[in-house]
Structure 1
Amino acid sequence: MRLGRRHSKNEEAQIDLTSMLDIVFIMLIFFIVTSSFVRESGVEVNRPQASNVVSQKDAGIFVAITSANDIFIDKRVVDVERVQATLEHLLLEQPDASLVIQADEHAYNGTVVKVMDAAKGAGVKNIALAAEKR
Structure 2
Amino acid sequence: MRRRMSRGEEEADVNMTPLLDIVFIMLIFFIVTATFVYEDGIAPNLPEPNPEENNTEPPPSMLLTVQEDGFVLVDDVRLVDPRSTRPVVEEFLAKEPRGVVIISAAPESETGTTVTVLDQAREAGGPEAYSRITLALQGA
Q: TM-score, normalised by structure 1?
A: 0.52
SS state at 1:105 partner: coil
Asked whether the equivalents of residues 104 and 138 of structure 2 are also in contact (C-alpha less than 8 Å), the reply is: no
Is the Cα–Cα contact under 8 Å of residues 59 and 100 in structure 1 kept in the other structure? no
Question: Relative CO higher for 1 or 2, CA cutoff 8 Å, sep ≥ 6?
Answer: 1
Count of matched residue positions in the alignment of Structure 1 and Structure 2: 78
CA distance in 2, matches of 1:90, 1:101: 14
SS at the partner of 2:115?
A: helix
In 1, Cα distance between equivalents of 2:108 and 2:139: 17
* 130 and 58 in structure 1: CA distance in 2 versus 1, 3 angstrom threshold: farther
User: What SS is found at the alignment partner of 1:121?
Assistant: helix
Structure 1's unaligned 5+ residue stretches are 1-56
- 1:98 Cα deviation after fit: 1.4
> Which residue identity is paired with 1:85?
P
Find the aligned partners of 1:59 and 1:65 in 2 and give their Cα distance: 20
> Superposition RMSD on alpha carbons, in Å?
2.0
Q: Which runs of 4+ in 1 moved over 6 A?
A: none
- Aligned pairs for 1:89-104 (under 5 A) are 89-104=91-106
Q: Are residue 66 (structure 1) and residue 67 (structure 2) matched?
A: yes
Once the two structures are aligned, what percentage of the paired residues are identical? Answer: 23
The secondary structure found in structure 1 opposite 2:107 is coil
Segments of 5+ residues of structure 2 without an aligned counterpart are 1-57
Q: What does the per-residue CA deviation read over 1:37-93, in whole Å, with 9 as the maximum and x for residues that have no partner?
A: xxxxxxxxxxxxxxxxxxxx6461100011111101111112222110111111122
Partner of 2:135: 129
